[in-house]
Structure 1
Amino acid sequence: MRNKYIIRSFMTAVIILIISSFYTLPYYVSKPGLAKELGPIVQVENGYEEAGSFMLTTVRMGKANIYSYAMAKLNPYHELYEIDEIRRENETVEEYNVRQLHLMSSSKQSAIETAYKKANIPIHYKYHGIFVLNVKPGMPADGKLKAGDRIFKVDGNEFESSDQFIKYIAGKNEGDVIEFTYERQKKINETKIALQMLQETGKPGVGISLVDDKEIEVNPNVTINSEDIGGPSAGFMFSLEIYNQLVEEDYTRGYKIAGTGTINSNGVIGRIGGIEQKIVAADKAGAEIFFAPNESGAQDSNYNAAVKTAKDIGTKMKIVPVDTFDEAIDYLNKLKSK
């Protein structure tokens, strides 16, 4: 009788757990992800090998269910965020995912620019069109264009940048019908959209947010297989790995070096989210050094948060503050090889 009660209680608990995993709450939860070696991810053609490794760090982010919400309340390195802290106003899940993948794409471009400039290697650009980040609800493009579409012709015209596209539209009148030629899931489509006056600009438009879709051309060629990793936070570490493969000197010095931070084309490192979770991930992966954005010494900087987390978890990993790519290279120049 007692065994039946135990089995019944166990089955009830399992059913409740399964149901709770499908019932989502109006929160996102983030937790420590992985620290991945960049050697297999970043490949510079005929690039130099390295004795150690540079590593990107990730967080795992997803919609909270009852179980993950409860775990986040109990685990100091699981964070809860309200939806509007993660997604923009009126931004769908699809648009959020598209924006994250675009941010990753942009970070890769900035990393390539930074590394090749440092190595004094010329960079060229090839323009592909306009990349749709999101479509505003109730505007003319709603239902016709989607986040992720690549517009490469407008009224049969090809442009050199999104600025040229905006100027072309600005020269039209409200009610004018514009024909867009775009690519979606590798298929070419056309659609006609009537312009509407935009309240925020006072100019005609269709209600989309957009950025340039351009490709960097360099020699030697570089490929970055980031797969489904989204966001811009790996940019800085990408730049270190690319540069290390471009030059003969091995800046890893034989160490396992992790880190995080956005980077722009001028080599400036920026703040990221989830630094605490990334410290935990890097420590689990055996990283010996961790580069953290210093934010010019701000009191609430990523670096200070990283130092606190490192102390809390008792890691021997050295936390190094950096504001620029050049600062990181200077530090590695002074690092004694293993």
Structure 2
Amino acid sequence: MRTQWKKIVAIIVLLVVIAGFFIPMPYYITKPGSTEKLEPLVEIEGHKSELKGSLSLVTIAMANANIYTYGLAKLLPYQEIEKESDVRYENESNEEYNVRQMYMMNESKNNAIQVAYKAANQKVTVKYDGIYVLSVLDNVPAAKYLHAGDLITKIDGHAFESSAEFIQYVKSKKVHDVVTIDYVHDKKAETAQIELTTIDKKGTVGIGITLVDDEKVTTDPKIKIDSEQIGGPSAGLMFSLEIYSRFQKDDLTKGYPIAGTGTIDPKGNVGRIGGINQKVVAADKSGAKFFFAPDDKVTDEMKKADPTIKSNYKEAVETAKDIDTDMKIIPVKTFQDAVSYLEKLQPKK
């Protein structure tokens, strides 16, 4: 009888342990990820990489927390626990979150292309391409047709030059008016008749979508960037350096493995990113010798929201010291800061 009870208890304990892996918690666990060399991700017609060193982006690994990973994150260095509400927007689905990450990556690539091509005196043009749908409210007529990731090209036969013009047109309509939306879904052109509705407590008339401008960048020579497995905007700086390097006679890396992070805007300004400490750890493990970190300004407003906040560069330097790495942390405010540093760097012997 005792043996039978022991078996029952053992089975119950085993089921509880297994269940712990599948019971979700409202948290994400982030930790140092990997470095990805950019050379195989970037293809430019007639311009292959001649670098003896390498330029790499750095990733952060992120996963939904369970009771075990949550506990481990409390104990292990450079693992962080993020509230779900700090990672996702309110009511944002998995699909919408992924679409938002992909949009930010595409925007980052477009900015990097513009900056690098202009700096290298190559031809690049930017054209407004339509309205990119980031999310759709659940209980609106548009939800039957539109999805996150769709591209709206026209409304009632009108093509616009910005999302602001699109919004203004919709605002001129009344509740229950029906508009004709031309859009692209899964690379297929579609048309839908969509009834307008109120989208907030103020009675604002709208379609019920979160939208952003979508841009098409055209270059000569042609360029292709393969980044389907990577999301977010933080690789902008490193993409711009990789692209720029293809048009230079001299080896921009001087033979060194170089990593870094930072957003980039069309003017070449480098912006703040999250998880800089984890990226420093990942870059060090990969053997990088130099690491570009955004030298961002911490405003009074940022300090008010978080009194412990530090600039990316300062936190990167502290992390490098903590892990006792020889990797040098380089502060950059602009794309040109990074280029200037590399141009002055002595070649590897």
The residue aligned with 1:4 is: none
Aligned length: 332
1:43 paired residue number: 43
1:265-311 superposed Cα distances (whole Å, 9 cap, x missing partner)? 00000111111111111111100000001114777011111111111
Deviation of residue 261 (structure 1)? 0.5
The answer for unaligned runs of 5 or more in structure 1 is: 1-7
Match in the other structure for 1:21: 21
What is the CA–CA distance in structure 2 between the aligned matches of 1:248 and 1:61, rounded to whole Å? 39
In the other structure, the counterpart of 2:330 is 320
Aligned partner letter, 1:39 = E
Tell me if structure 2 keeps the 8 A contact 1:44–1:246.
no
Task: Note if contact 2:291-2:329 (Cα within 8 Å) is conserved in structure 1.
Answer: yes
Mapped to 2, the partners of 1:93 and 1:197 lie a distance apart of: 25
CA distance in 1, matches of 2:172, 2:124: 33
1:209-220 paired onto structure 2 within 5 Å: 209-220=210-221
Q: Does 1:276 align with 2:286?
A: no
The question of whether the paired residues in 2 share the 8 Å contact of 1:296 and 1:323 is answered with no
More deviation, 116-125/257-266:
116-125
Residues 198 and 112 (structure 1 numbering): CA distance in 2 closer, same or farther, change over 3 Å?
Answer: same
Inter-partner Cα distance in structure 2 for 1:105 and 1:165: 22
- 1:202 offset after TM fit, Å? 6.8
The answer to whether the aligner puts 1:311 opposite 2:312 as a matched pair is: no
Name 1:59's counterpart in structure 2: 60
2:21·2:67 contact (CA, 8 Å) conserved in 1? yes
Structure 2: which amino acid aligns with 1:28? Answer: Y
Q: SS of the residue aligned with 2:26? A: strand
Give TM-score, length-normalised by structure 1.
0.90
The answer to which of 195-204 and 317-326 deviates more is 195-204
For 1:30, the aligned partner's letter is T
Does 2:223 correspond to 1:222?
Answer: yes
Equivalence for 2:344 = 334
Q: CA RMSD in A?
A: 2.5
Contact residue 17 and residue 67 of structure 1 kept, 8 A:
no
Question: In the alignment, which residue of structure 2 is the partner of 1:92?
Answer: 93
Matched position secondary structure for 1:282: helix
Distance, in Å, in 2 between the alignment partners of 1:222 and 1:13 is 56
Match of 1:141, SS? helix
1:1-338 matches, cutoff 5 A: 18-47=18-47, 48-199=49-200, 204-296=205-297, 300-338=310-348
Amino acid at match of 1:117: K
1:9 is displaced (CA, Å) by 11
AA partner of residue 328 (structure 1):
A
Tell me the equivalent position of 2:304.
none
Question: For the residues of structure 1 that align with 2:20 and 2:216, how far apart are their CA atoms?
Answer: 44
> Is contact 1:260–1:272 with CA below 8 Å preserved after alignment?
yes
CA distance in 1, matches of 2:199, 2:176: 12
Q: SS where residue 295 of structure 1 aligns? A: coil
SS class of match (1:25): coil
Whether contact under 8 Å (2:123, 2:221) holds in the other structure is: no
In structure 2, the CA distance between the partners of 1:72 and 1:98, relative to structure 1 (3 Å rule), is same
TM-score w.r.t. length of structure 2: 0.88
Secondary structure of the structure 1 residue equivalent to 2:142: coil
Letter of the 2:45 counterpart: E
Q: Is the 8 A contact 1:116 1:243 kept in 2?
A: yes
